[in-house]
């Protein structure tokens, strides 16, 4: 089987939601090289108790690209999981932001 790589770029952007939506502070960027059909999962850090993670730009071709919450340890841990479409080769980009919870966007 020949070696095939997929480049997945995940940009983590922290957003400070203000009434006029002036935001965009780059928090970090992660570049990951995956083998064909390989899954990538990472712990997302940094959201305060009154914030949530949200995907604002989704990958184009994928089987799984989601944020999940695990609080089985008593602490809210958010994970991002990405698995490209079967046999996909190429680059994908996903943007994940933190947003402050409001009454219009409940958890």
Give the residue among 5, 27, 19, 17 at the shortest CA–CA distance from 92: 5
What is the sign, positive or negative, of the torsion defined by CA atoms of 58, 33, 1, 89?
positive
Condensed to tens digits (0 to 9), the pLDDT of residues 38-51 reads 999 999 876 677 78
What is the sign, positive or negative, of the torsion defined by CA atoms of 49, 75, 12, 38?
negative
Instruction: Give 33's pLDDT tier (boundaries 50, 70, 90).
Output: confident
With a pLDDT cut of 70, the percent of the chain lying above it is 67
- Over residues 45-66, mean pLDDT: 86
Q: Which domains does the chain have, with CATH numbers?
A: 5-100 (3.10.20)
Q: Residue 47: what pLDDT?
A: 67
Which H or E run contains 26? strand 25-35
SS3 of 54, please? strand
């Amino acid at each position: 089987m020949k070696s095939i790589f997929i480049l997945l770029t995940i940009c983590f952007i922290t957003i400070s939601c203000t009434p006029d939506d002036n935001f965009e502070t780059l928090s970090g960027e992660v570049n990951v090289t995956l083998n064909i059909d390989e899954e990538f999962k990472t712990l997302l850090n940094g959201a305060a108790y009154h914030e949530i993670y949200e995907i604002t730009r989704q990958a184009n071709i994928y089987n799984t690209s989601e944020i999940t919450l695990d609080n089985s340890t008593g602490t809210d841990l958010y994970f991002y999981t990405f698995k490209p479409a079967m046999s996909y080769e190429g680059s994908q980009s996903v943007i994940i932001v933190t947003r402050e919870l409001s009454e219009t966007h409940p958890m």
